[in-house]
Structure 1
Amino acid sequence: MPDQFSSIANNFSKQKWYDTNLEFADACTSLAWPLTRFVYAGDKAGRLHCIDCDGPCPVPVATTLVSSSRISSLTLNRPADLFASTSTDDGFVSIGTTDPENGAFGESTAQLTCSKRPLCALFMDDERTKQSLVLVGSSSGIHIVDAQSGAIFRYLTGKGGATSLYSWLGCMVAAGESRGGVTLWDARVNESVAHFSTNFPNAKRSVFAVDGAARVLALAGDAGMVHLYDIAARKEIVKKKICPTDVKTMSFSPKMRLLLAADVQRLRMVNLGDISLTPFPPPTHHILSLQSVTGIL
């Protein structure tokens, strides 16, 4: 049975398509795009929105209020039936339910209390144990936490902290920094393996996204510009002006290379499917067995 995203892919393949946009009463400040027909957005008023993208234009279908302050991050788990969000004034991560069939939000949320104010959160599954984890970013680094018990398994320390997060393969973590760059971590060995930066002199909190194949990293620059990097080759591919003003948040679709980007005015969807990439380079080191993120402590 095909996943719900297939209908979106079929819709876009029928037309010469580059971008579309949707306006909100309050600016979007965070985005999440699971493997479904729905995308999710958080706004500066503390609300979460579910948007149906299966059609000629995106349509809002559900809204819920989870905080009294700006949503700073939003993530959904792999089945798209749980969300986790952080906000600028709250010292906890809010966790709630969603319906992957119709996009509806559940009526209540739980709170994951943190010792430091969380700046961002991300669901990640340990590929070996299938354990569901939550990555929580703060001003000093990243906590890897069990989603059910709240137990801390690991802590990754970085000078720029972590203001936004993305992970793949159950172990690779990209962390946006307060200084404007993105650090790439291998969570199994507690080591950073790469760093990406626009070298913009007045860089603020980094805004970035990684495509579903983990091949392209998009990093927001100045005045609506987005820099696209080949992750395997560790180099910049191209830069494109996506929005008329500074990009506030971004998210790639789980398949294809469709980029959601929001500035202060509207949410924009851009087709970046024409980007060319270099072949994967030989590995710099080999890991002989698949190790658990949580099991080697």
Structure 2
Amino acid sequence: MSAPVAPVEGTTMTDAARFALLAERHRRELQVHCYRMLANYEDAQDLTQETLLRAWHKRESFQGHATLRTWLYRIATNACLDFLEKRTPVPFEPPAPGSELPYLQPYPDRMLPEDPQESVVARETIELAFIVAVQHLPPRQRAAFILRDVLGWPASNAADALELTVASVTSALQRARVTMRERLADRRLDWRSPATHELSTDERGVVKAYIDAHERNDLDGLTSLLRDDLRFAMLPDPGTVTTTATDAVDGWVSGGLFRRGHDDWRGVATTVNRMPAAALYLRTPDDPEYRLFAVALLHVADGKIAELTGFDVGGKPWPGLPPTR
């Protein structure tokens, strides 16, 4: 829902409606910004709505010294920081090495901004590896990094948004860059330049083979798609992180997620967080329909799955995917 439109003293209904309409146009890009800050799709939706409500209540203070877009990003950033103060322990403790974020959620590609200029900021800044890496930054470092290195804001604008000095923002950014280089050592680090979001031939082929293996109940075929040093996690359960293909497959079998010859799967190739993904539907013996069970995001390297992050979405609506097949 858009921010409410109501006349207030000194503002005509037409002016108020126009303000709400102009602000609403930025909803999707603000939601992506909140997602980078929070790593949770549902929280990003809530904080975007909070941003638009705060903007509505403060609209008479908007003097046009900055663009409306910049003003809204400032409000969104501070709304996220307020939220993180409640969620994040103080002093900030980064996630433990090798652990997953219990609050991590995938981001539906169909909810990205429709404007190509807004949508293609850089593929890496919506991929899971980037989102997880950013969560290792303390909240204000995180905000400074996103404003400066992702959105490309000048230091003075970022300092104004965060109510810090330029020197403080520069120092926070330098520390953030060190952490990001450590967390993403095998990925490119120029996040402000556009990157294509088209899947490669390898990626499309691996997703198809991954789905085919499920539909055939072919555990050996599935195993052959995995790199030996696979990193696998099934969320929101933080205890399923494994670091080898053997451990992952053993976990699937022992946990009943993949019972040779007994499961009835259907899959749909898609993209989530600008990454190749498979939506998996499972039909149980007592149910005539295939029901959405999980969304698996795949990081493909050299024709094999190097990272597999599964999200339990059973019984939950998912934008762009039917609940049954």
TM-score, normalised relative to structure 2: 0.23
TM-score, normalised relative to structure 1: 0.24
Name the one with the larger helix percent. Answer: 2
Name the one with the larger strand percent. Answer: 1
* Greater Cα radius of gyration, structure 1 or 2: 2
